[in-house]
Chain A
Amino acid sequence: MVQDSYIALFTENEALFQQNLPAWRCQMRHQAVTCLQEPTQLTFADAYALDYGLNPARLPFKGDPFSLFMCDIPGITTYNYLVFNDSFYAQPGLPTLPEGVIICSLAEAFQQHASLLQPYLSSCQVANPDVAFNTLLAQDGLFLYVPDGVQLERPIQLVNMMYGKVDMMAVSHNIAIIGQNAKAQVLVCDHAYGSDVNYLSNRLTQVFVGKNAIYEHYKLESSSEKTTNVSTLQITQQEGSQVLTNLITLANGKTHNRVDVNLNGKGAHLSINGLGLGHNTERIENHTFINHNVAGATSNELFKYVLDDQAEGDFYGLIKVLPDAQQTQAFQINRNLCLSKTARMFTRPQLEIYADDVKCNHGSTVGQLDENALFYMRARGINPDEARMLLMFAFVHDVLDNVRIEPLKDRLQLLIERRLRGDKTHCSGCKICR
């Protein structure tokens, strides 16, 4: 198995991987080894077979990573952080955070705030090989702590930047703890430098959302065709909490987004959305697992794909309603456009319902642009290309309606329009991409 060599790498360098970590976190790495030794497969297992550079000794990057990146979303003001390959950097000169809020490197958090982390992390299972791989090798990432009652007005922007002159792998781990009645918005941007180098990233983000807290998570990928990105987002929601997630894949190579949400409190609400725009031979996977574990929680799911050329889309959505989860309301929709004969979409909407007083539905469609609508627009003098554009934009519009950061929404409209028009230049946030 491909993971054997990584287990060997970990074993040889265990002292480096485990340095400055509390014993319980070290123990988790061993659990991960056990999990990876099972006869299981990593997602995109073939991609792990390359010889990548890893950095267990934490040799610092010689230079200023922020000189490579400047967000180009006009009008957005964020707390800006970078995970440069696998290491966390805070932008110098950020304004002071509200009292009690912690944003720092995860490596630092394991030294300074271990007691804060332990109760949350010890409740997490090493659930699947992708998560196990991350648990085994991740050494850094972003740690966010928002204490009870604190509402962050500015979004937190985390840019995952792949940068290398040789094939490069990055493993990072983010943790966010959102206290009771607290509020935070996180925007994660996945970027990759250049188009010649193979990148593989395995990113795990765990979010714990407290009672009546509000949390928004946007993930925007604009990477390269040679990027393989495996991202896991795990969210636990307490009573009355409101979570919004939006996973938008504009340009990529092969992407696997997995989202696990546990609705653990009455009145918790989840809105989970996603959009995949596939061109060339891109592959976009979104797998979501929503667990209604208790009564009276609601979830709303909407994923859309527009696939052209030989692109492949894959949607798997499982909503599980446990026996005690009465009065659950769960809705799931996946709609897809295949613009070419060679584009392919795989969709598996699933409901598992063990309670009897619930309101759930799911639906999925795969189709082409509406020929009648196209003709109607042409009959008014509109160019066929422009008509297609308007229809595609209309198709993806309701996903964008779920973006609540206005400057981001405006920017996304532009980026999506450019992408749908077949413009190869995508997000120009990175100076190096310009």
Chain B
Amino acid sequence: MLEIVNLHAEVNGKEILRGINLSVKAGEVHAIMGPNGSGKSTLSAVLAGHPAFTVTQGSVTFNGKDLLAMPAEERSRAGLFLSFQYPVEIPGVSMVNFMRAAVNEHRKYKNLEPLTAGEFLKLMRAKKDIVELDNKLANRSVNEGFSGGEKKRNEIFQMAMLEPSLSILDETDSGLDIDALRIVANGVNQLKTPQNASIVITHYQRLLDYIVPDIVHILYKGRIVKTAGRELVAVLEEQGYDWIKQEVGE
């Protein structure tokens, strides 16, 4: 589904990603872990098409297409979803209008008719239950005045609405209390199918107690330095990242 080969990227002339190789297949859950500053969020931003980052080398193939050639909006329509670490507040744009615009763009991409207002609201009602999102949030401005937990639940709600084939969850656990964490993780698990895949980016183990990865990668200084099964999570939790630093020769 996703094939990243030797990906290099920089921001403001500073190289952050220095040759990422990663292969994700349908049905898999990958975890990318690593200390602060290792390039985890850069990787997710580059995959989503954030204009601040420049890819200097390498390729990314997504469902057979050249992902890097697509603008951000097309990547989304093609089935890539980024759950933001810091969801953006958009005062004055209601969740309903925002989601309707997004859903109908996705439908247009698939040559489907736009949803009627009634159909859309029905869909929204069904999907918000997945993350126990309050009815009232739908009429509020996007993320405006949402608590940290509400913002992250809102990300997963959007994921449920857009039904991506690949979702990247960037530090979705940051700023969540234990109840919100469970709701968010529960939502993600409900959305899992054999046809889709997830990349969970985190530097804590706790989210991975709920969303169990098949493969765990350690990102350090812009490279994936270690890949193993889910047992790697426990090792990291116990020993921290220092042994990785030693292993790569520092």
- Could you list which residues of chain A lie within 8 angstroms of chain B, going by C-beta atoms? 370, 372-373, 375-384, 386, 390-391, 393-395, 397-398
Contact = CB atoms under 8 A, between A and B. Distances in A.
Interface in B108-132: 109
A397 B144 CA distance: 15
A381 B92 contact: no
For the complex of A and B, the 5 pairs showing the least CB-CB separation, nearest first, are A394-B92, A381-B76, A376-B88, A380-B102, A378-B72
A394 B76 contact: no
Q: Which of A376, A381, A397 gathers most chain B CB within 10 Å?
A: A381
B49 interface: yes
A395 B93 CA distance: 9
A381 B87 contact: no
A370 B92 CA distance: 13
A376 B89 CA distance: 9
Given A382-B105, A391-B90, A397-B92, A376 B84 contact: yes
Contacts of B37: none
B73 A378 contact: yes
A373 B93 CA distance: 10
Interface of B: 48-51, 71-73, 75-77, 82, 84, 87-93, 97-99, 101-102, 105-106, 109, 141-142, 158, 162
A381 B93 contact: no
A379 B48 contact: yes
Contacts of B82: 379
Given A390-B93, A393-B92, A394-B92, A382 B102 contact: yes
B88 A383 contact: no
Contacts of B88: 370, 372-373, 375-376
Contacts of A377: 90, 98, 101-102
12 contacts: A370-B90, A373-B90, A376-B88, A378-B71, A378-B73, A379-B49, A379-B72, A380-B158, A382-B102, A393-B93, A394-B92, A397-B92
Contacts of A381: 73, 76-77, 102, 105-106, 109, 162
Which of B77, B90, B91, B98 gathers the greatest number of chain A CB atoms within 10 Å? B90
Nearest to B87: A376
Contacts of A372: 88
A275 to B, nearest CB: 13
Contacts of A376: 84, 87-88, 90, 142
A375 B72 contact: yes
Contacts of A370: 88, 90
Interface centre among A370, A375, A395 (most CB of B within 10 A): A375
B101 A384 contact: no
B98 A395 contact: no
A372 B77 CA distance: 19
Contacts of A378: 49, 71-73, 76
A88 B160 CA distance: 60
A238 to B, nearest CB: 35
